[in-house]
Chain A
């Protein structure tokens, strides 16, 4: 970490934030019998799995169906990048017809990934309602009219900054760091 990078969530805050998000979901979804959680690949899946585990630890009856969705083939920037986008695995072993869907991603920034996610999701049916849950909401940077229903933390950033969510499973520690380029 360089001197002007800052931690916006340390592991304690990280844990508390996910617990709060889980409780907010309980308020709106009762027993989750008609709810499905879908993590957007790759990093939304980590958050979806974590939220799911926290819900289960709160009460065993909160055993929610979940899946992971890859949005690569639905993106609008394919062929606008130097390398073709590499797809990830999609695991959706259910249809979402008439379900309440909670889409999950780690960072909401321009909104373009979520837009692709909404399109990709519709290949599995017509949900009754779709909500969006994110850990980090980068405000004032949206390219599309997309807002989250459940937000872990709002951050004010400039475009050149980068919010990176680290996970214990892959990076050794739960935390969120905001990287700022040296020359700004």
Chain B
């Protein structure tokens, strides 16, 4: 198998374990490429990719952009804050206008869940979802699992706990799909107000005691509290949240075993994770960022292979 079963990367939900492993194997090669003296290959030199960001992003946008450049694609960048979207243009109109400039692939982040899925049904280009509201963020989940695989060799039977704002997190949802498909055991931990009711239907157990969860796991994914998506109070104060669900060095050192700490970024130092934990040798936060470029190159390369 050297072909993805999908034509767009809309979510991990639509991928098979074979697809995910194909992306990982391809990313292994790209990781070697980006550590060469000349970090660029000409594979996509005849393609144009538009990065449409209808929502703020630093890491993901830069990561996609560098991945595209390393593959020699031409790039169009767009962000909604200074565009005609504010003048009332619809999503399809905006994208079709951009596509008439002969664009082959679209990387899109959008505040509305399902936006990428919707777009894939209405426009003629390969779509990569770079985050749609609180729905999915597939490349983040892929790079997270890729980083765990790099550290442990395999995800089968590994225990992973996702801590924090599960309710508003697309990273959590994509990661749950991805980890489960690769055979990992997943638990979520956080205040019950931030854990969606459907979570047990995904085969995920809820733990409310952080220390208990950490003692169970091999890997802890700490998530950011997404204040921008919270239209009401879900917990009394950030300070209280951080006392109950923040990971500090003292807690980390008190565990039975050495666990790996991950964070998708951006970090709120002192809230979900303290600086000494984020910068400790148990944290692989910066490896995650490097792997993000290799994973995005792999996804773009494999989807480009499906362009007629």
Contacts and interface: CB of A to CB of B under 8 A. Distances in A.
A146 B3 CA distance: 32
Contacts of A90: 29, 32-33
A7 interface: no
A106 interface: no
B37 A125 contact: yes
24 contacts: A72-B29, A73-B29, A73-B41, A73-B42, A73-B43, A73-B301, A74-B42, A78-B305, A79-B305, A83-B305, A84-B2, A84-B301, A85-B2, A86-B2, A87-B26, A89-B29, A89-B32, A119-B42, A123-B36, A123-B37, A123-B40, A124-B36, A124-B37, A124-B38
Contacts of A95: 37
A122 interface: yes
A90 B37 CA distance: 13
Interface string B1-28: 0110000000000000000000000100
B38 A122 contact: yes
A70 interface: yes
Contacts of B43: 73-74, 78
Contact of A83 (B2, B33, B301): B2
Interface of A: 70, 72-74, 78-79, 83-90, 92, 95, 119-120, 122-125
Interface string B206-231: 00000000000000000000000000
B190 to A, nearest CB: 40
A92 B36 CA distance: 9
Interface residues of B, number: 19
A74 to B, nearest CB: 6
Interface in B23-60: 26, 29, 32-33, 36-38, 40-43
B68 to A, nearest CB: 14
Task: Tell me the interface secondary structure of chain B in the complex.
Answer: loop
Contacts of B41: 73-74, 120, 123
B294 to A, nearest CB: 12
Contacts of B36: 92, 123-124
B172 interface: no
A156 to B, nearest CB: 33
Contacts of B192: none
Contacts of A86: 2
B302 interface: yes
Nearest to B304: A79
B255 interface: no
A87 B302 contact: no
Contacts of B123: none
A84 to B, nearest CB: 3
Contacts of A125: 37
Nearest to A73: B41
Nearest to A90: B32
Contacts of A88: 29
Contacts of B85: none
A143 to B, nearest CB: 18
A89 B41 CA distance: 15
B14 to A, nearest CB: 18
A87 B2 CA distance: 10
Nearest to B46: A79
Nearest to A96: B37
Given A120-B41, A123-B36, A124-B38, 7 more contacts: A73-B33, A73-B43, A84-B2, A84-B3, A87-B29, A89-B32, A124-B36
